[in-house]
Amino acid sequence: NAGVMQNPRHLVRRRGQEARLRCSPMKGHSHVYWYRQLPEEGLKFMVYLQKENIIDESGMPKERFSAEFPKEGPSILRIQQVVRGDSAAYFCASSGQGSTDTQYFGPGTRLTVL
Amino acid sequence: KNQVEQSPQSLIILEGKNCTLQCNYTVSPFSNLRWYKQDTGRGPVSLTIMTFSENTKSNGRYTATLDADTKQSSLHITASQLSDSASYICVVSAGGAQKLVFGQGTRLTINP
């Protein structure tokens, strides 16, 4: 049973380009969470999705960021017109039941904006 | 404001020694508290989870305690090993898995 998978592991973009980060949850998990970790800081919640639904996006920046979790395929975190401040590690986690269920984290995608 | 503060920020100990990491939180409502281990360049891995009614929980050489009255938790590591070198993150749930509040972590280094 594969764990949470994220790709790419490392992504380099120039300012103004788009970044697409993908997350495949653990088999059988239907809840996906995205977090951002800036250097020397703790993880910060961004968005919580279930299949085809955004449950909570209170941690998402109002502009340029969007997330989806389609019926088929991985969850996608999309950052348009990236800026240097977007450079961070982006972690995806999944859980089976939500609520108090343990979240299992992927290895993260390290985004560097030049 | 929901916050989780951890101390110390970093800690260096010799292999075989014990250590205790601290976590103070101001999170409401309180659902549960978890400790995660994060190796460099990897995602966090859950060590323990405790609800309001639990005072202590062990996972091998890791023992977590929770005092819900003082809103403090600790993670005790016994007989440390080189592989324990990592960041240890205290995470408090403010009701629902999407309301996790993360501490900044304690960076633990085990020297031979």
A5-30 pLDDT tens trace: 999 999 999 999 999 999 999 998 88
Beta carbons within 10 angstroms of residue A49's beta carbon: 26
Interface contacts A/B by beta carbons within 8 Å: 59
Pair B103, B90: CB distance under 8 Å: yes
Sign of the dihedral defined by the CA atoms of residues A71, A56, B27, B39, in that order = positive
pLDDT band at B61 (very low <50, low <70, confident <90, very high): very high
Nearest CA in chain A to B88: A42
pLDDT digits (tens, 9 = 90+) for A75-104: 999 999 999 999 999 999 998 876 557 789
Pairing verdict, β A109-113 and A10-13 = parallel
Q: Which residues of B touch A45 (CB under 8 A)?
A: 98-100, 102
Pair B34, B19: CB distance under 8 Å: no
pLDDT of residue A1 exceeding 70, the answer is no
Read off the pLDDT of each residue in B83-105 and give the average, rounded to a whole number: 86
As a whole-number percent, the residues of chain B with pLDDT over 90 amount to 72
- Phi and psi angles of residue A21, each rounded to the nearest 5 degrees, phi first: -115, 135
Look at residue B66 in the predicted model and tell me its pLDDT. 96
Read off the pLDDT of each residue in B49-77 and give the average, rounded to a whole number: 94
Lookup: tokens for B8: 């110390």
Cβ of B46 and A44 within 8 Å? no
Nearest CA-CA distance, residue B19 and chain A, Å: 21
Read off the pLDDT of each residue in A42-53 and give the average, rounded to a whole number: 90
